[in-house]
Amino acid sequence: MWQRIQTLYLGISTALIFSMFFCTFATIIGPAGEELTIGYHEKIPYLAMLIMLFTAHVAATASFKAFFLQARVSVIAALMAVGFQIWLAVDFIRFHNEMTFSLTALFPLAAATLDFMAAKRSLVDEMTISAVRSVKSSRRRRHGKV
C-alpha cells in the first residue's frame, strides 16, 4: 500500500484533516483580557465539512489498487478542501478584527495540494501500466501468440 508516493501524499493529507478535529480554529480576546478558544468541532458546519473531508480522504487512500478511482476521489477531496479553505478565508476576512486565527486554518490548502499531486501520480501510474500492457499485447500478436 505505501509503495507508491501518491499513497504517502494521501496519508499526509488525511492526517492533516484528522488533526483539525482536535485543533483550535481561532482565539477571541475579551475586553478583560481573557482568551476564549474556538475549535473546529465546536462549529457544526465546520464539523460536518471536516467529517466529509476526512471520509473522502480515507476513501482515496483506501482505493490504492484502482488508480483511476483513486485519482477521481483525490480530485474530489482536493476540490472539497479548496472549498473549505475559501470558507475559512471568508470567515477570516469577516472576523479579522475580533479573532486571532490559528495556523491550522491553512491545513485544507496543504491537503488540497497533496491531493492534486496524488491524483496526478495515480494517473501517471495508470497510463504507464496501460502502455506496458499495450506493448506486451502488440508483441504477442506480432509473434503469432494470441
Residues of the chain with pLDDT under 50: none
Confidence at residue 4, expressed as pLDDT on a 0 to 100 scale: 77
Confidence at residue 127, expressed as pLDDT on a 0 to 100 scale: 84
Confidence at residue 3, expressed as pLDDT on a 0 to 100 scale: 63
Instruction: Express each pLDDT in 120-135 by its tens digit.
Output: 988 888 888 878 878 8
Which domains occur in the chain, in start order? 5-142 (1.20.140.150)
Confidence at residue 2, expressed as pLDDT on a 0 to 100 scale: 54
Q: Who's near 17: CB < 8 A, 6+ residues apart?
A: 50, 53, 54, 57, 81, 107, 108, 111
Confidence at residue 38, expressed as pLDDT on a 0 to 100 scale: 87
Kindly report the three-state secondary structure assignment for every residue of 50-106. Answer: HHHHHHHHHHHHHCCCCHHHHHHHHHHHHHHHHHHHHHHHHHHHHHCCCEEECHHHH
